[in-house]
Structure 1
Amino acid sequence: MSSKVKLVADSGSTKAEWCLMDGKVRKTYFTQGISPYFLTSVQIEELIQAELVPQLGGVRPDQIFYYGTGCLAEKNQKLLHKSLHAVWPQAKIAVSHDLMAAARALCGREPGIASILGTGSNSCYYDGKDIVKNNPGLGFVLGDEGSGAFLGKKVLQYYLYQTFDDEMRFRFDQKYNTTRDEILDRVYRQPLPNRYLASFTPFLSENRGHYMIENILEDGLNDFFFNHIYKYSESWTVPLHFTGSVAWHFRDVLEELCHLYELQLGRILKNPMEGLTVYHEDE
């Protein structure tokens, strides 16, 4: 009996990663991201037909496991299901959200705390099957502690308040060549300010070792622990897992914080796909 061909998707609003699983063979493809808040079902279908179907070379999946931004809302799940069904009417389709993707990728079928630290941040307690608790985020204006937007905002504060020493100010100016007016315009008047703020996190990676950079990282990630991890009583009895670009690039800081607070550190993945393919192997 031939094995089922599976298609696993992990989509943000800017980029979507698709992994085709045919037996032991894994092939990864990328398309632009899919946001059900900005695209109709017909537009999503057209995007998939134009960008993904040609890459698959005629292979038709039997099962589709789609995880995406905006898919916590039931109406958006139905919209994605409709679009995917229009492209592959023969396939069995399951649609879920990005936090479930993180939970399944990181925890598998075991209980744990799953956290996303990327452009934004989120977390949950997962009992091995369902997300039981979710400490709701407040977005990049009021919250998103530990995220790229949060850390990038700190970089800009240090720069604009002239907290950086001369060396750091020089390095910032050399890298970004921007002005106070331009920064404020991008943050308060232009679209997608959270992504703009997050674009300053590479400055932290490139200047590790400077005490001001280390302060920003330790304070920003500690704020995530204090405002989110600590709100789950299970944090002291199950592993803490992380995914996302911030978690991956600053994993040493997460390791130090877990050691400091005597918490069990689990897996740290750059993105969920590696864990999702393992999770769906036996389905």
Structure 2
Amino acid sequence: MAIKLIADSGSTKAEWCLLDGKKKKIFYTQGLSPYFLSSEQIQHIIEQELQTKMKQVPDEIFFYGTGCSSPDNVKAVKKALQRSFLKAQVSVDHDLMGAAKALCGKEKGIACILGTGSNSCYYNGKKIIKNSPGLGYVLGDEGSGAYMGKKVIQYFLYNTFDEDLMDRFAARFKTNSYEILDAVYKKPLPNRYLASFAIFLAENRGHYMVENIIEDGFNDFFFNHIYKYRESWTLPINFIGSVAFGFKDVLKEMCSSYELQLGKVLQKPMDGLIKYHS
């Protein structure tokens, strides 16, 4: 039986599973985003952070990662994997395909990512047929951590929060408008910085302003993305990612009020991908 290596990589962290029949071993490395790393740098990380921990050599590799929707990026990741694992058959695909396989398996469905960013697609059980365009954290990413975090910051900087929430925000983050604006407009990875404020919503559930931000963020996602697939009225809507998992009660309520069928809500893709490739 072939030994398989499955990878789910974001830009921050990558999770790897070595599958030998029913035996599985999980490893973690830093994220391998071809947007930020060259093929040589990716190879170096694989060899230093992954191969040194592995006792077996895979026959097949299935890599799902952020940034792997462009042919050039796929080529860069594939080259790094092939150089590191000379005898393995290598398949590289983007994170949305990983999410679709993890959520839907070989069934039809709508697959949505709600993490630091957001994305969605209609998947026919084999491939992605439709994808509502993701516009990134500046113009889009509705319902994501970056989108919700941006709202939290706006409410704080515009003094929209009531006194209680203003005090809670100040105590939780110990920051000010100068630091926030500097981090958003001058420092690298502002999307991750914005998303770090979404935790404030999870920690203050029940307050009407907090609930409004969560509901508005998800409403924007449903309206701009899910509604664009006519298949969403007849197929389950599945979600993956930290934001979806953290606020699954709101998603459940929303699907119910829109008369949509809620499917799976998973925190991360790996368990679903193991099942898919077993």
TM-score by length of 1: 0.97
> Quick one: distance in 2 between partners of 1:178 and 1:155?
13
1:37 corresponding residue in structure 2: 35
2:207 corresponding residue in structure 1: 210
Unmatched tracts of structure 1, length 5 or more = none
Candidates 1, 9, 13, aligned match of 1:11: 9
1:239 aligns with 2:236: yes
> Quick one: distance in 1 between partners of 2:77 and 2:179?
38
Structure 1 counterpart of 2:244, one-letter code? A
- Partner-residue secondary structure (3-state), 2:58: coil
1:261 corresponding residue in structure 2: 258
Shift of 1:276: 0.4
Per-residue CA deviation, residues 142-196 of structure 1 (Å, 9 max, x unaligned), is: 1110000000001011111111111100100000111111111111111111111
Identity %: 63
1:49 corresponding residue in structure 2: 47
2:112 corresponding residue in structure 1: 115
Candidates 225, 229, 244, aligned match of 1:228: 225
> Structure 2 matches for 1:174-185, cutoff 5 A?
174-185=171-182
Structure 2 counterpart of 1:270, one-letter code? Q
1:152 aligns with 2:149: yes
Q: How many residues align?
A: 278
Structure 2 counterpart of 1:143, one-letter code? G
1:72 corresponding residue in structure 2: 69
1:193 aligns with 2:214: no
> Quick one: distance in 2 between partners of 1:234 and 1:241?
13
Per-residue CA deviation, residues 207-256 of structure 1 (Å, 9 max, x unaligned), is: 00111100000111111000100000000010000000000000000000
Shift of 1:78: 1.3
Shift of 1:37: 2.0
> Quick one: distance in 1 between partners of 2:122 and 2:139?
22
Q: Over the residues paired in the alignment, what is the CA RMSD in angstroms?
A: 0.7
Shift of 1:273: 0.6
Per-residue CA deviation, residues 110-138 of structure 1 (Å, 9 max, x unaligned), is: 11000000000000000110100001011
> Quick one: distance in 2 between partners of 1:151 and 1:176?
16
Candidates 80, 84, 96, aligned match of 1:83: 80
> Quick one: distance in 2 between partners of 1:16 and 1:89?
21
Unmatched tracts of structure 2, length 5 or more = none
- Partner-residue secondary structure (3-state), 1:13: coil
Shift of 1:79: 1.3
Structure 2 counterpart of 1:90, one-letter code? K
Candidates 155, 162, 172, aligned match of 2:169: 172
**Runs of 4+ displaced beyond 4 Å:** none
Structure 2 counterpart of 1:206, one-letter code? E
Shift of 1:76: 1.2
